Amino acid sequence: MENETQLQNYKLALWLSFITIGYNVIEGLLSVIFGMEDETLALFGFGLDSFVEVISGIGVAHMVWRIQKQPNSNRDQFEITALKITGSSFYLLALGIGLSSGISIFTGHRPETTIWGVIIGGVSILSMWILIQYKIKVGKALHSSAILADANCTKTCLYLSALILVSSIFYEITGIGYIDSVGSLGVAYFAFTEGRESFDKAKGKTCCSSCSCSV
């Protein structure tokens, strides 16, 4: 009975990783499309960040599958490579968005509207909160520090969603153009921290800005 329950929890953990991947694909597409249409750099950058999260999510799904097969095993080459690709992508994203934000502030660029940032940011906060709760629940049930670390790392996505929501609301209320650029700088900051954390993990650490580090 205990083994059957454990198997169900591993299946749930795997499904949660698949749901995370699927959600990020949809979120990324919508954010990039509406970000381009409304000329909001913050939402566009948020969408690109979601696509990088897909790469990370594939690595997490593989991690859950590996732990299910061999609970005491260490990261394999696939996971390490995925983490390095994810980290590099986040660094490039941070650089690109940072430069674009500086140009937007200098030129006084103003988005058409940020209403989609409000909608997508709000939906993302709710979705990430639900995913975090389930990941914590299954991580505790399996006594898996790796799954719990992934749940804590999902909090970064929650904070990023909150940033998009707040910056989008402030722009809709005030109409001040540089608010969108400041929001995109926040996206660049989170992308940089996520990149650093990915490389830390590749070196053997389960580290997040929202959790402690352990080998």
CA dist 190 to 3, 63, 90, 94, 132, Å?
A: 39, 23, 9, 8, 18
Q: What is the pLDDT of residue 208?
A: 53
Structural domain tally of the chain? 1
Q: What is the pLDDT of residue 35?
A: 95
Report residue 205's pLDDT band, with 50, 70 and 90 as the boundaries. Answer: low
Residue indicated by tokens 């499904």: 15
* Chain centroid, CA 145 distance in Å: 19
Residue 8 lies in a domain: yes
Residue 158 lies in a domain: yes
Q: What is the pLDDT of residue 212?
A: 38
Residue 215 lies in a domain: no
Q: Round to whole Å and give the CA distance between 148 and 189.
A: 24
Q: DSSP H helical segments within 108-177, as ranges?
A: 115-142, 145-174
Residue 211 lies in a domain: no
Average pLDDT, the chain: 88
Residue 76 lies in a domain: yes
Residue 66 lies in a domain: yes
Q: pLDDT digits over 55-80, tens only?
A: 989 988 998 888 888 877 777 788 88
Q: What is the pLDDT of residue 200?
A: 87
Q: pLDDT digits over 97-151, tens only?
A: 999 999 888 888 889 999 999 999 999 999 999 999 999 999 899 888 878 888 8
Residue 81 lies in a domain: yes
Residue 20 lies in a domain: yes
CA dist 188 to 10, 73, 96, 126, 184, Å?
A: 34, 34, 8, 22, 6
Residue 215 has pLDDT above 60, yes or no: no
Domain interval for residue 134: 2-202
Neighbours of 49 (CB within 10 A): 27
What letter does residue 208 receive in the DSSP assignment? B
